[in-house]
Structure 1
Amino acid sequence: MNPYESDELLQQYLVFHYASAEEQFPYDFGGSDALDFPKRCALEGPDPEKLPKGARALDLGCAVGRSSFELARHCSSVIGIDYSQAFIDAANRMQVDGSHPATRLDEGSATTQLNVQVDATIDRSRVSFEQGDAQFIREDIGQFDVVVACNLICRLPEPMRLLQRLPDLLKPGGQLFMTTPFTWLEEYTPSDNWLGDGAQDSFAGLRQALEPEFSLDVRWDMPFLIREHARKFQYSIAQASRWWRS
C-alpha cells in the first residue's frame, strides 16, 4: 500500500501544511525556523516580481495543497497534482470549504482535534487539484509560467521522466522551483535511478539533467519540520533551487 494513502500520513500532512506555529511546535527553542515550509516554497521559491500578469502555475507533488493556495496570491490559475488520492481529496475539500478537520497526535493515544483553514485572503477559485503521476503528466495540460516541485524527485521511481518533461511544461522565460532533501531510498527509487552517479553528488546530477534547457538562478538551504507527536519531530534540510527556462 502507498504510505501516502494512510490516514496517519494524511493527518500528519494536514498539520504540516496548515496548522499554526503554536499548534505544530509549542516550544521557544529550535525548530521554529523550519515551520511553514509549504508556504515558504510558494512565496520564497519563485520570484513573484518576474511573474507575468495572469501567470499560470503548476504545483507537482502538492500533497494537501498549501503551496498551491499560496501560489494563487501571485498566479491567476494554479493546478496542484499529487499521486495520493487521499491527499487530493483533502486538498479538494480545502478548496471547496476553506477548511478541513485534522487530528494532531500528541502522545500515545492522546490527540487534539484541529480545524485547519486556508487563509481567507486567498482566492481559492484560482486553484484546482487532480490526482496524477508526476512521471506521466497528462499531455493536454499545457504550459506554465512557473512550476513548483517540492520534496518530490527522491520519491519518484524514475525521476528522469519528470526532469525530461519539464522543458515542455514551462514557457520560455518561465521559472522552475525545486526542493529536495535527496533522501534516496530503494523503496521509492531504485538505486540505478538515483541522480548524480548513485547519489555521489545528487545536485550535480540534477543540474546535468536540467541544463541546457534551464539555467540555474540561485540555490539555498531550506529547513522543514514535520511533527510526529509532541516530543518527536522530523527536522530536514532541503536543497532549494530556482531555474529559468531558456
Structure 2
Amino acid sequence: MSANPNPYETERLLGEYLLFHYGSAEEILPESAPAGMREALDFAVRTTRHFSPGTVERTLDLGCAVGRSAYELSRSSTETLGIDFSQNFIRAAAAMTGSPLPYGRLDEGHRRTPLLARLPEGLPVNEVRFETGDAMSLRRDLGDFDRVHAANLLCRLTQPDRLLERFPSLVRPGGELVIATPCTWLGEYTPPANWPQGSTLDWLKLKLGGDFELVSMKDEPFLIRETARKFQWTASMVTAWKRLP
C-alpha cells in the first residue's frame, strides 16, 4: 500500500463507516432528505444480494471495512472471513458480536452525537472471522471460496491488477465473485499509470474474462454522511461473475 498514513485509521473515518454500515435512516438522514438519499441507504446489505440464492460453505469479504456485509453474507455461508487493511475497522467489525459499540457521529466542528452501532436484531450470524490484510498481497494459505465479495475496494488500491490476478485462485470453479466499484480513480490512491486505459467495465472483462463469465451488471447508489449538512452520494458499478470450470 501507499507509504502515506492510512486515512482509514482515523476516528473520524471509523465513525463515518460505522454510521454507513449500521446507522438507521433517522440517524443518517436530515428531515429534508430527498427520496434519492433514502434509496442509497443499506449499500453494505444490497451488494450482498448480487449472489445467487442458496447456502455455501466458504465466503470471503475483501475490504470488509467495519463488517456489515460479512455478517450479512454469513446468513447463507457456514464460514465467512472478512479482511481489511485498517486495523481500526477490523477491531470494530470483530466487536459487533458483543455489546453495542459506542462511537461519535460528527455533526459540525466540535459537535458530535454519541451513537451505538449494533447488528440488526435477529441476524443469524454463523461463523465469522476478521483479520487485517493487504488485498494486493493476501496470505497464500487462504484457500478458495464459494463466494468472494469486494465492495468499493479496487479504486483504492495502488496496484489493483494484483488483486484481479489473485481472484481465479480465490474463487472455486462454479463459485461467484461480486465486485462493486464507483470507478473513482484518484492519483492519491492509485497512480494514473495503473488506472484502466478505457472504461472500468471493459478493463474488468479483459482481466477476468479468461476465468470468469460476467453474469450481471447494475449500478447501486450509496450515501456516506460526513456532517449534518454534507453527504457523499455515489453510484457504484456492481458486477457479478461466475468462475468457469
Please give the range of the TM-score, normalised by the shorter of the 2 chains: over 0.9
1:12 equivalenced with 2:16 (yes/no): yes
The count of corresponding residues between Structure 1 and Structure 2 is 238
2:157 corresponds to which residue? 156
Choose from 43, 50, 53 the match for 1:48: 53
Query: Given that residues 81 and 129 in structure 2 are in contact (C-alpha distance below 8 angstroms), is that contact kept between their aligned partners in structure 1?
Result: yes
Query: Given that residues 98 and 118 in structure 1 are in contact (C-alpha distance below 8 angstroms), is that contact kept between their aligned partners in structure 2?
Result: no
Q: Any idea what SS the aligned residue of 2:30 has?
A: coil
1:141 corresponds to which residue? 142
Query: Given that residues 157 and 188 in structure 1 are in contact (C-alpha distance below 8 angstroms), is that contact kept between their aligned partners in structure 2?
Result: yes
Amino acid at match of 2:174: G
2:212 corresponds to which residue? 214
Shift of 1:223: 0.3
2:83 corresponds to which residue? 81
Amino acid at match of 1:182: C
Q: CA RMSD in A?
A: 1.2
Choose from 31, 42, 55 the match for 1:36: 42
Cα distance in 2 for residues equivalent to 1:106 and 1:56: 39
Deviation string for 1:54-89 (max 9, x for gaps)? 421000000000000000111111000000111111
Q: Any idea what SS the aligned residue of 1:206 has?
A: helix
Could you say if the C-alpha distance between residues 221 and 90 of structure 1 is closer, same or farther in structure 2, counting changes exceeding 3 Å? same
Shift of 1:98: 4.9
After superposing on structure 2, the runs of 4+ consecutive aligned residues of structure 1 that deviate more than 4 Å are: none
Amino acid at match of 1:19: G
Shift of 1:107: 2.3
Amino acid at match of 2:120: D
Cα distance in 2 for residues equivalent to 1:140 and 1:129: 15
Q: Any idea what SS the aligned residue of 1:112 has?
A: strand
2:238 corresponds to which residue? 240
Q: Any idea what SS the aligned residue of 2:204 has?
A: helix
Gaps of 5+ in 1: none
Cα distance in 1 for residues equivalent to 2:90 and 2:81: 11
Deviation string for 1:177-212 (max 9, x for gaps)? 0100111111111111112x1xx3121011111012
Cα distance in 2 for residues equivalent to 1:185 and 1:102: 29
Query: Given that residues 72 and 122 in structure 1 are in contact (C-alpha distance below 8 angstroms), is that contact kept between their aligned partners in structure 2?
Result: no
Q: Percent identity?
A: 47
Q: Any idea what SS the aligned residue of 1:119 has?
A: coil
Deviation string for 1:20-78 (max 9, x for gaps)? 11111133523011001101112x221223xxx44210000000000000001111110
Amino acid at match of 1:5: E
Amino acid at match of 2:225: R
1:230 corresponds to which residue? 228
Query: Given that residues 78 and 126 in structure 2 are in contact (C-alpha distance below 8 angstroms), is that contact kept between their aligned partners in structure 1?
Result: no
Deviates more, 1:67-76 or 1:113-122: 113-122
Q: Any idea what SS the aligned residue of 1:122 has?
A: coil
Query: Given that residues 75 and 126 in structure 2 are in contact (C-alpha distance below 8 angstroms), is that contact kept between their aligned partners in structure 1?
Result: no
Could you say if the C-alpha distance between residues 166 and 98 of structure 1 is closer, same or farther in structure 2, counting changes exceeding 3 Å? farther
2:131 corresponds to which residue? 130
For normalisation by structure 1, the TM-score amounts to: 0.93
Query: Given that residues 104 and 112 in structure 1 are in contact (C-alpha distance below 8 angstroms), is that contact kept between their aligned partners in structure 2?
Result: yes
Cα distance in 1 for residues equivalent to 2:74 and 2:99: 14
Cα distance in 2 for residues equivalent to 1:168 and 1:6: 33
Cα distance in 2 for residues equivalent to 1:54 and 1:234: 34
Deviates more, 1:236-245 or 1:119-128: 119-128
Query: Given that residues 154 and 180 in structure 1 are in contact (C-alpha distance below 8 angstroms), is that contact kept between their aligned partners in structure 2?
Result: yes
Q: Any idea what SS the aligned residue of 1:47 has?
A: coil
Could you say if the C-alpha distance between residues 98 and 56 of structure 1 is closer, same or farther in structure 2, counting changes exceeding 3 Å? farther
Deviation string for 1:131-189 (max 9, x for gaps)? 00011111111110000000000001110100000000011110100100111111111
Gaps of 5+ in 2: none
